[in-house]
Amino acid sequence: MTNLTNLGRKDQDGRQVRIEHRTRYTRASRTGGVSLRAQTKAAGLNITGNTKHGLRVSRRVAKGTQVAMQNGRLVVRGRYGKGPNKLNLSKTGVTVSTKNKLGTFNWIKPNRSSAKLFGVQVRGKKAAQLQMAYGVAMLLYHTMLFAANLLILVVNLAVYLLKATWTGLVQLSGFLQSLPARLEQRQRHQQSRQLEQRITQLAPQIHEQIGQWLPVQQQAALLWIILAWGRGESELAAIADSLQTLKADADAAILHPALTVIDQVYEATNAITQDFDPQKPLKDELALAGLLAQQLNAPSSQLDYVEWLLTLDEQLVANGITPLQQRLLDVVMDFADIGLVAPNT
């Protein structure tokens, strides 16, 4: 049955080909009826005889162009172009057609369109009507497809913008939360630079005196500055109870060597203030603490200065640290290279 009528045979688009019977000498179709046909070539001409359409003599004159005489009537046919769009030439003029899955639609002369449904091919007005209906259906389909894709794009864009906005808000929130700490860190860094300059401006005899002290004496002087000066005191008796408490505390054992010699250096440390700038005593006091802090991590000190400072910090907090003690401790940690990170510039 397939060989006789093409039923079940598919074209390159997967559609049922035209239902007809075709052999070398016979033709049978719904529109053309039954006819006999023979073809031969002679002197470069194609000669075709058909019991229904008569005699036709044709010749190819150029690529895509054919000239023929059929029953004494001149026929000119031309088809040019690649892909679905073609330029068609005939005696009556030029037309443009587009091939689609339904058939071919002629844009200039719609009645020359063709359409094929389930292997049944139609031409003329019916084909034009089918092509127009197909075009409207395809237009609606692609419009809905475009609308769906546009909706997906809008949703994806909205999701992206929401994510970007949320990420930006999170980053901004984190920045704002860290801003006070950053500003404080920058301020401390700037103050440390100023104190470094101030240390170099301290009287030479101060540098000489501190350089002659043993490491444990330097540590004791630093303890005195923080424990006594940090509370506005300059007499040993004023902090005697605090010293006794620290000496008895096993958790403060790392401070004990310096505590035992604090009475040997506190007077000399107090005497250093005589060389301070009377206009800037606090700045010189901080500079002296920074100078002593630089000695903590010197190789000669043989001290775990990180543990030493952390223990001192814990003891100060436990016994009620004053603002000046906190300031002194910050300076000491900065100059001992603990806790100070240079801010980004």
Give pLDDT tens digits for 239-253.
888 899 889 888 889
Decide if 141 is inside a domain: yes
Residues 317 and 217 in one domain: yes
The CA distance from 114 to 15, in Å, is: 15
Residues 28 and 87 in one domain: no
Decide if 104 is inside a domain: yes
H or E segment and range at residue 36: strand 33-42
The CA distance from 206 to 143, in Å, is: 89
Is the pLDDT confidence value at 344 over 90?
A: no
The CA distance from 333 to 298, in Å, is: 14
Residues 328 and 212 in one domain: yes
Decide if 68 is inside a domain: no
Cβ-contact 257, 222 below 8 angstroms: no
pLDDT attached to residue 294:
83
Residues 219 and 292 in one domain: yes
The CA distance from 262 to 70, in Å, is: 130
Residues 152 and 85 in one domain: yes
Cβ-contact 236, 229 below 8 angstroms: no
Mean pLDDT, residues 197-226: 88
Q: What is the CA radius of gyration of the chain?
A: 52
Residues 208 and 328 in one domain: yes
Residues 279 and 228 in one domain: yes
pTM, full prediction: 0.49
Residues 211 and 327 in one domain: yes
* Last-in-domain residue among 163, 178, 193: 178
Distances (CA, A) of 245 to 199, 219, 252: 32, 18, 10
Q: pLDDT over 70 for what percent of the chain?
A: 88
Decide if 222 is inside a domain: yes
Is the pLDDT confidence value at 7 over 70?
A: no
Quote the number of domains for the chain: 3
pLDDT attached to residue 305:
81
Q: What is the span of the domain harbouring residue 91?
A: 81-178
Choice between 203 and 174, residue whose per-residue pLDDT is larger: 174
Q: How confident is the model at residue 341 (pLDDT cuts 50, 70, 90)?
A: very low
Distances (CA, A) of 294 to 76, 137, 218, 337: 105, 86, 10, 9
The interaxial angle of helices 323-335 and 125-201, nearest 10 deg, is 100
Residues 331 and 219 in one domain: yes
- State how beta strands 65-70 and 54-62 pair: antiparallel
Is the pLDDT confidence value at 262 over 70?
A: yes
Residues 319 and 225 in one domain: yes
pLDDT digit string (tens) for 46-61? Answer: 888 787 778 888 888 8
Q: How confident is the model at residue 43 (pLDDT cuts 50, 70, 90)?
A: confident
